[in-house]
Structure 1
Amino acid sequence: MQHQIDKMGSHGTDKVLTLETLNPNVKLMEYAVRGPIVARANEIDQEIKNGAQKPFEKVVKANIGDCHATGQKPIKFIRQVLALCTYPDLLDSKDFPEDAKSRARRILGGCRGASIGSYSDSAGVAVIRQDIAAYITQRDGFPSSPDDIIMSTGASDGIKSILTLLLTGKGGKDQAGIMIPVPQYPLYSAAIAEYSAYPIKYYLDEEKHWGLEVDELRRAIAEAKPHCKPRAIVIINPGNPTGQVLTKANIQAVIRFAKEEKLFILADEVYQHNVYAQGSEFFSFKKVLMEMGPEYNTMELASFMSASKGFMGECGYRGGYAEVINLDPEVRTQYLKSISAKLCPPISGQAVMDVVANPPGQGEPSYELFIKEKEDVLSQLKKKARLVTDTFNSIEGIKCNEVQGAMYAFPQIFLPPKAVEEAKKNNKAPDAFYCFSLLEETGICTVPGSGFAQRDGTYHFRTTILPPLEEIERVLKHFRTFHHQFLEKYK
């Protein structure tokens, strides 16, 4: 009998892990872009495949920035180099251009055993890090060192590796505080919850095109100081989910603030290729920091890039890197030790990042096609950014700031009081209630603004601008009809 009690445990189960014994930080984590609405979208997908009749033919996944899943074609040169790296026997084939072969030989020459099936150094393949450093040097006009380039499994892994360094290992008012924008990409709130750190939320100003105001940064950090030890500030530029692009003056102001408050800067710059609005331009934090001179250019900064966004959209390869500058040498040693436990990021993902950093040059056989494919992707995104912005702003009860960059619109929806009441009856956030209704009636899968955090009393949703132009036009037409009917139903 005692044996049976021991086996079953004090809660009548033989499981070590129950909801009561699970790490509480895991239960706190939320990741809205793959949350319950997406789970329901997948169920509807399966129902349609099983013959269920719906008022739409298919689910449109506008919840996540997965370019190829929404129809974008791979950039040919990237896939050629990856094919050659994966199956080197193709290096003898006449079907591949010489510039693709030369890059594959360079990457394979940097791999142990000349195979991408081998481990690399934990920081990444040396020749790839050299190419990325050269790319950053050319982009910014300031030198970049391969020793400062750390390859990662997508940008997300690189971001979490830096956040880990910033933890204090203490609780209460001594726990690490991380400044994050609101609205913000859920990776940050999820990681902060997982690591038991303190989120210092600073609000972007929707009335000023999601502007980043230093006065708001000062308010946020002053309110947080009694509860934590502020350690870092996260900036997403171009913005996700908000689509704004910071001006150089704005970046300078943020750097001065970080200097005053002795904060480590984490610059999420994965959308640096995705700038569409007239007058908008991407400036890297590294470039601006260096231009500001000796008082600032020794500050600690980690900037992040990914193969998943831009014109590439190679999400599945999980390629990314961090450029981490001005670390204390002893801290750098510990940082490299910490990433060594992961062995190394996928070599195929590293190879994608190499091609992004070292594309065909003028005069090489693949140059013209590469430029055409790249410009086609970005020009289509620019058209869709304008179309989505204009369409939302033409619909009663919706207001949408211009999509200046990135891959998303984040419109505000003004919901009738009866809709808010109905949402509460269904135990849902009002914008989640709206997004569930949108999904069930049109097949359009979006993410409610409550999944990204937002000012109390406001409601939003995030949608990608990734589907093909013809599909976006069709989706927006169905959306307009749904929205008018929703307002009529709950007016």
Structure 2
Amino acid sequence: MRKFVTDRVRSLLSRSFQHRRYAHLLSSSQSRFLSSAPSMASSSSPTSSSPFPVTCQNINPKVLECEYAVRGEIVTIAQRLQQELQTNQGSHPFDEIIYCNIGNPQSLGQQPITFFREVLALCDHPAILDKSETQGLFSTDAIQRAWQILDQIPGRATGAYSHSQGIKGLRDTIAAGIEARDGFPADPNDIFLTDGASPAVHMMMQLLIRSENDGILCPIPQYPLYSASIALHGGTLVPYYLDEATGWGLEISELKKQLETAKSKGVSVRALVVINPGNPTGQVLAEENQRDIVQFCKQEGLVLLADEVYQENVYVPEKQFHSFKKVARSMGYGEDDISLVSFQSVSKGYYGECGKRGGYMELTGFSADVREQIYKVASVNLCSNISGQILASLVMSPPKVGDESYESYSAERDGILSSLTRRAKTLEEALNKLEGITCNKAEGAMYLFPRILLPEKAIKAAEAAKKAPDAFYCQLLLNATGVVVVPGSGFGQVPGTWHFRCTILPQEDKIPAIVSRLTEFHQKFMDEFRD
């Protein structure tokens, strides 16, 4: 059993010291917030004698600083191993790669919602709407919805440009969905449809960050989109640490401490990022906690950037999603009392339409002249893709009771969410049984973020391999089992602690294999490196 891990360690060290074939994937600089991770090997870059006019010495340094862990080195190695398995079966001690690194449901077998895809198909090829056979192939309400949407699109063509904020009729539908969800009015003119939530985040960072003296309060651990976008736009990430001991709680005292620390260093903090439900941590904020956060932003004059893309993914009965807009309005704050940007995406929830790139941001509490500037930036990109816009409207206005598709739609939605609940519980319980691993409950989102107490011998081996200790663990896990997880150092963590992020998305029949592979590997790893 000890030889199992020893061989893997020797293989990893060999690749690290001899071949260096992946060294170019290791950033030459770490993101500012990753002070807990030992620096990795410097990326080999062309010298001044390079025949290429563009080198790593003369590109934008902000690009060098930017990192994005969920598609980093571990995934590149996994893709290589997958190719080796395809060309040479039996070349590794596993028969498939199981990707637990990214929230990409349909790539792991989740089926799209039938109603959504029927409407998309009809909108993309409206010629079939007039054919008699269509009545038998598509539900009546999908046909009706497609006609309704097409009447709102210029030229009834999903290949056409739209208004820069998105098709007005679709924004009307989304606003009505927000109002139904929250119980407070929503204005379609406050909504900007985007290619997923990521471009909306970039747009707001571009708006808020003027120089490195501008800071954004961001949770640690965080989704690396935020650290990457802050770095690309030249700002400073101001970390606030979530409390792992209280289930990744968000303490106002921590926000105040980090805000004062930033101010003492001459950093002007412009905004607070809150991810609810949490990524990578999976917590769901209590409404009382949200009220405190809103009050904090009001008092400090901060823009509240509310990442709410997992609002459908809540797995525990004692918790419920509340939008920050609903919370702010229920506190009596009106349109002009607090600046709030809410992000939503069709990539998550029970729909998992990542590749369709649909999403939106709702902006409230911004002056007319600033909104003109946001619209100008949106116009530079012309518009988001029409299919994503359509999906965003469908997500916020699915079939209702009495519609022909309602029962099948409800069954598909509930089946996906109940299965995710079971998967989260199974993985959480399995992780907590492993030596040196503790894992908080996944209350929502799509991830677990277990903490691993690594033996000192393993940490020294990681240092010898010029790896962060959690990255060292994750790469050995991949080489031994084919299971792909992301080291916690890619998300940020309290210095001296180590974690990894694992999705709950592999299909339910794959979960036992993940548990058995991880359990066997971890036992052997701990035996090999026990102090």
Among candidates 165, 185, 189, match of residue 123 of structure 1: 165
Does structure 1 residue 485 correspond to structure 2 residue 524?
A: yes
Amino acid paired to 1:389: E
CA distance, structure 1, for counterparts of residue 196 and residue 462 of structure 2: 36
- Tell me, yes or no, if the aligned pair for 1:289 and 1:296 is still in contact at 8 Å: no
Among candidates 460, 463, 469, match of residue 508 of structure 2: 469
Amino acid paired to 1:97: S
CA distance, structure 2, for counterparts of residue 405 and residue 473 of structure 1: 21
Residue 192 of structure 2 aligns to a residue whose secondary structure is strand
Does structure 1 residue 192 correspond to structure 2 residue 230?
A: yes
How well do the aligned residues superpose, as a CA RMSD in angstroms?
Answer: 1.3
Does structure 1 residue 367 correspond to structure 2 residue 378?
A: no
- Tell me, yes or no, if the aligned pair for 1:259 and 1:296 is still in contact at 8 Å: no
Per the alignment, residue 219 of structure 2 pairs with 181
Residue 117 of structure 1 aligns to a residue whose secondary structure is coil
Per the alignment, residue 29 of structure 2 pairs with none
1:353 CA drift (Å): 0.9
Per the alignment, residue 63 of structure 2 pairs with 26
Residue 83 of structure 2 aligns to a residue whose secondary structure is helix
Among candidates 82, 93, 100, match of residue 55 of structure 1: 93
Per the alignment, residue 428 of structure 2 pairs with 389
1:295 CA drift (Å): 7.3
Per the alignment, residue 155 of structure 2 pairs with 113
CA distance, structure 1, for counterparts of residue 209 and residue 379 of structure 2: 18
CA distance, structure 1, for counterparts of residue 293 and residue 110 of structure 2: 35
Alignment of 1:42-191 (within 5 A): 42-52=79-89, 53-92=91-130, 93-94=134-135, 95-168=137-210, 170-171=211-212, 175-191=213-229
Alignment of 1:349-428 (within 5 A): 349-428=388-467
Alignment of 1:228-243 (within 5 A): 228-243=267-282
Residue 161 of structure 1 aligns to a residue whose secondary structure is helix
CA distance, structure 2, for counterparts of residue 11 and residue 196 of structure 1: 25
Per the alignment, residue 262 of structure 1 pairs with 301
Per the alignment, residue 4 of structure 1 pairs with none
- Tell me, yes or no, if the aligned pair for 2:336 and 2:366 is still in contact at 8 Å: no
Q: Which moved more, 1:124-133 or 1:349-358?
A: 349-358
CA distance, structure 2, for counterparts of residue 452 and residue 383 of structure 1: 25
Among candidates 216, 224, 239, match of residue 254 of structure 2: 216
- Tell me, yes or no, if the aligned pair for 1:123 and 1:344 is still in contact at 8 Å: yes
TM-score, normalised via structure 2 length: 0.89
- Tell me, yes or no, if the aligned pair for 2:298 and 2:337 is still in contact at 8 Å: no
Amino acid paired to 2:242: L
Alignment of 1:422-437 (within 5 A): 422-437=461-476
Residue 515 of structure 2 aligns to a residue whose secondary structure is helix
Q: Which runs of 4+ in 1 moved over 4 A?
A: none
1:361 CA drift (Å): 1.3
- Tell me, yes or no, if the aligned pair for 1:398 and 1:412 is still in contact at 8 Å: yes
CA distance, structure 1, for counterparts of residue 85 and residue 169 of structure 2: 48
1:374 CA drift (Å): 0.4
Per the alignment, residue 335 of structure 1 pairs with 374
Per the alignment, residue 281 of structure 1 pairs with 320
CA distance, structure 1, for counterparts of residue 256 and residue 177 of structure 2: 35
CA distance, structure 1, for counterparts of residue 273 and residue 208 of structure 2: 12
Q: Percent same amino acid among aligned pairs?
A: 45
1:10 CA drift (Å): 9.9
CA distance, structure 2, for counterparts of residue 31 and residue 217 of structure 1: 25
Gaps of 5+ in 2: 1-45
Residue 441 of structure 2 aligns to a residue whose secondary structure is coil
Residue 388 of structure 2 aligns to a residue whose secondary structure is helix
Amino acid paired to 1:370: Y
Per the alignment, residue 204 of structure 1 pairs with 242
Amino acid paired to 1:64: I
1:477 CA drift (Å): 1.2
CA distance, structure 2, for counterparts of residue 370 and residue 13 of structure 1: 58
CA distance, structure 1, for counterparts of residue 308 and residue 80 of structure 2: 34
CA distance, structure 2, for counterparts of residue 481 and residue 10 of structure 1: 45
CA distance, structure 2, for counterparts of residue 228 and residue 26 of structure 1: 21
Per the alignment, residue 5 of structure 1 pairs with none
